[in-house]
Amino acid sequence: MGALTGDFVFVGDVGRPDLLERAAGVQGSMEVSARDLFASLRKLRAKPDHLQLWPGHGAGSACGKSLGSMPQSTLGYEKLFNWAFGDLPEEEFVSRVLNDQPIPPRYFAVMKRVNRTGAEPPKSSHPTSGELLDLEAALKNRATVIDTRLATKFAAGHVPGTLNIPLGKSFLNWSGALVPENGDFYILTEADSDDAVKSILDDLCKIGLARVPLVFRADLAHEWQSRHGELETVTQLDASKLYEQSGKNNLQIVDVRSPEEWTRGHVRGATHIPLAQLPDRVGELDPSLPVVLYCQGGGRSSIATSFLQSRGATNVSNLAGGFDAWVAKGFEVESGSASSGRPARS
């Protein structure tokens, strides 16, 4: 009747044979796994078309390049529309499945250990509320404080030094990519009950992020403002304004999308630093020069902008509407996989 395909076959895509090598450091396993995947797909292809497929992930997951958003499919549908079921020679399949895969978030490597040895117990078994003095102390010690509000609310005003990762389907993905798992961190949230807060903490534990000693109420931002002055905001730059400024030699334009998205097309003169790589590559940016970040629609670049601000950047903007807005205006687009190792000076 059907198959639980997990991370093997998705809607419109297939699983990643590169993770064991790229995330866990098992050298030489990528190509072998890709060839195993090719052989497995040929075996599955022999099954009847009516076979229902239930994958483990959907759109937005880092477990594939272009996962569809439908929760299930059929083998017959995938034979028609999934690139991996096309009539490809093995060498071409191996090349395509390994090329332009998303950058593995840091927690992928942590998962290998957690799945083997078990997760660390939560720092606190019950949500513990922190006060303004606790928040000030955490930020003074350069601890990570995740503001889980919507990006629009964060952009309108937030406590300086906080990192915005909105609650939603990608919350765990980007928390695992941007938050170090070997130190305490804090949550600032609009959640209005202990159960809601505990649900956030329980989810974070699933990816090995268990060290949350305190949770702060979002309205502490008003107390911070009363004591310290204006809240920090995020500048939203529209595509036309970026086009006008892109001729300036001191502007750094950073594309935080996946390698596949970058290859399909990007803003001329941009540098490619996928969001998951930002913690390791932030040093490539010149802090004395302005930075504009963009993604496809503005969500990931909002997170990236908040990350740079939390690291002390002051002249940083988010491209409102992202690459979609740039294309809609008809502005020039480059394609290809080449990306300079240093930020571009447009």
Q: Which domains does the chain possess? A: 2-101 (3.60.15.10), 108-228 (3.40.250.10), 235-334 (3.40.250.10)
| Per-position b or e across 34-44, b if 16+ CB within 10 A of its CB | bbebbeebeeb
Q: What is the pLDDT at residue 256?
A: 97
Query: pLDDT class for 342, splitting at 50, 70, 90?
Result: very low
Q: How far is CA 42 from the centre of its chain?
A: 32
Sole residue written with tokens 């294309």? 327
Strand arrangement, sheet containing 185-189 = 163-164, 144-147, 185-189, 215-217
Taking each continuous run of H as one helix and of E as one strand, the counts in the chain are 15, 14
Q: What is the pLDDT of residues 59-79, one digit of tens each?
A: 877 788 888 889 999 999 999
Contact 85, 45 (CB under 8 A): yes
Query: pLDDT class for 242, splitting at 50, 70, 90?
Result: very high
> Taking residues 22-36, what's their average pLDDT?
89
Q: What is the pLDDT at residue 261?
A: 92
Helix 132-140 and helix 220-228, axial crossing angle in degrees, nearest 10? 70
Q: What is the pLDDT at residue 284?
A: 95
* Nearest-angstrom CA–CA distance, 123 and 120: 9
* Nearest-angstrom CA–CA distance, 319 and 237: 5
Is the pLDDT at 315 greater than 80, yes or no? Answer: yes
Question: How much helix, strand and coil, in percent to the nearest 5, is found in the chain?
Answer: 40, 15, 45
105-119, 223-237, 256-270: range with lowest mean pLDDT: 105-119
Percentage of the chain with pLDDT > 70?
95
Strand arrangement, sheet containing 291-294 = 235-237, 316-319, 291-294, 252-255, 271-272
Q: Taking all residues of the chain, what is their mean pLDDT, rounded to a whole number?
A: 90
Q: What is the pLDDT at residue 243?
A: 94
Segment (H or E) for 73? strand 73-74
pTM (2 d.p.): 0.82
Query: pLDDT class for 122, splitting at 50, 70, 90?
Result: low
Highest mean pLDDT among 81-95, 121-135, 179-193: 81-95
Cα 54 to Cα 29, 151, 344: the distances in Å are 26, 32, 43
Type of residue numbered 334: E
> Taking residues 325-342, what's their average pLDDT?
78
Q: What is the pLDDT at residue 317?
A: 97
* Nearest-angstrom CA–CA distance, 155 and 31: 43
- The alpha carbons of the chain give a radius of gyration, in whole angstroms, of 22
| Residue 328 burial (C-beta neighbours within 10 Å; 0-12, 13-18, 19+) | exposed
Question: Catalytic residue among 11, 295, 319, 325, which?
Answer: 295
Query: pLDDT class for 125, splitting at 50, 70, 90?
Result: low
- The dihedral of CA 277, 279, 281, 286: what is its sign? positive
Q: What is the pLDDT at residue 91?
A: 96
Is the pLDDT at 346 greater than 50, yes or no? Answer: no
Fill in the DSSP letter of residue 326.
H
Is the pLDDT at 340 greater than 50, yes or no? Answer: no
Phi, psi of 212 (to 5 degrees): -115, 95
Closest CA to 146 of 135, 133, 132: 135
Q: What is the pLDDT of residues 157-194, one digit of tens each?
A: 999 999 999 999 899 999 999 998 888 999 999 998 88
Contact 1, 52 (CB under 8 A): yes
* Nearest-angstrom CA–CA distance, 21 and 241: 42
**Is 295 annotated as catalytic?**
yes
Helix 171-178 and helix 107-117, axial crossing angle in degrees, nearest 10? 100
Q: What is the pLDDT at residue 115?
A: 78
* Nearest-angstrom CA–CA distance, 265 and 258: 11
Is the pLDDT at 344 greater than 70, yes or no? Answer: no
Is the pLDDT at 341 greater than 50, yes or no? Answer: no
> Taking residues 21-31, what's their average pLDDT?
85
Q: What is the pLDDT at residue 134?
A: 96
Q: What is the pLDDT of residues 129-154, one digit of tens each?
A: 999 999 999 999 999 999 999 999 99
